[in-house]
């Protein structure tokens, strides 16, 4: 009898394993066990694809990338010129970006490097400052403070700049 049971029991187990079907408890429909959620685990959902990609930095308004606090536009300036503001992290490379002071004809009067005053590897605004010194300022005319995005690649499609108008007072 033991021998008969030892032969029948394994056959019973093998035949019943092939007929196991997992069903959804709510609908009683068969489940695809490869994609079925694991009990006790939160179901994950993938958000639908966005209708449009986020704008790259060249499509964003300059005010969303750079905020100049000092000097203000069309303000009289003199040497040494203290420059302060905030720029988004992607405006920097290795924590700085170039700034140039030009006269109204584009002649460069001074060059400097604005340095981040905090952690620059972020998409948030990071404060910066620099001091420019220059000689031979033009007499009673407009100039421009040019803030240039750091472009380590050198590719023109990554260039971006902002020209802030400033005034040189009469001598």
Percent of the chain past pLDDT 70, that is, above it, reads 66
For 62-168, the fitting CATH number among 3.40.50.300, 1.10.10.410, 3.20.20.140, 2.60.40.2550 is 2.60.40.2550
Is the separation of the CB atoms in 66 and 147 below 8 Å?
yes
**How high is the pLDDT of residue 2?**
56
Give the predicted TM-score (pTM) of the model: 0.65
Residue 22 binned pLDDT confidence (cut-offs 50, 70, 90): very low
pLDDT: is 134 or 35 the higher one? 134
Mean local confidence (pLDDT), 118-129: 89
Residue 62 reports pLDDT greater than 80? yes
Higher pLDDT, 105 or 140: 105
Question: What pLDDT was estimated at residue 45?
Answer: 43
- Is residue 58 pLDDT above 90, yes or no? no
Whether the predicted pLDDT of 152 surpasses 50: yes
CB-based contact 55:113 (threshold 8 Å): no
Query: For residue 19, what are the CA distances in angstroms to 31, 34, 133?
Result: 14, 17, 86
In a 13 Å sphere around the CA of 92, the CA atoms on its Cβ side amount to 25
The answer to whether residue 23 scores a pLDDT higher than 80 is no
Domain segments of the chain as ranges: 62-168
């Amino acid at each position: 009898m033991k021998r008969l049971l030892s032969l029948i029991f394994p056959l019973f187990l093998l035949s019943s394993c092939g007929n196991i079907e997992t069903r959804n408890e709510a609908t009683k429909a068969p489940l695809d066990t490869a994609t079925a959620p694991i009990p006790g685990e939160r179901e994950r959902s993938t958000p639908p694809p966005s209708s449009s990609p986020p704008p790259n930095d060249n499509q964003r308004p300059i005010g969303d990338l750079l905020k100049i606090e000092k000097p203000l536009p069309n303000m009289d300036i003199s040497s040494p010129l203290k420059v302060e503001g905030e720029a988004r992290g992607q405006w920097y490379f290795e924590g700085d970006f170039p700034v140039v002071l030009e006269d109204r004809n584009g002649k460069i009067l001074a060059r400097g490097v604005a340095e981040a005053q905090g952690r620059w590897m972020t998409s948030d605004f990071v404060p910066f400052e620099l001091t420019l010194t220059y000689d031979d300022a033009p007499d009673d005319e407009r100039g421009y403070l040019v803030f240039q995005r750091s472009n380590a690649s050198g590719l023109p499609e990554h260039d971006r700049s902002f020209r802030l108008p400033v005034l040189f007072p009469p001598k």
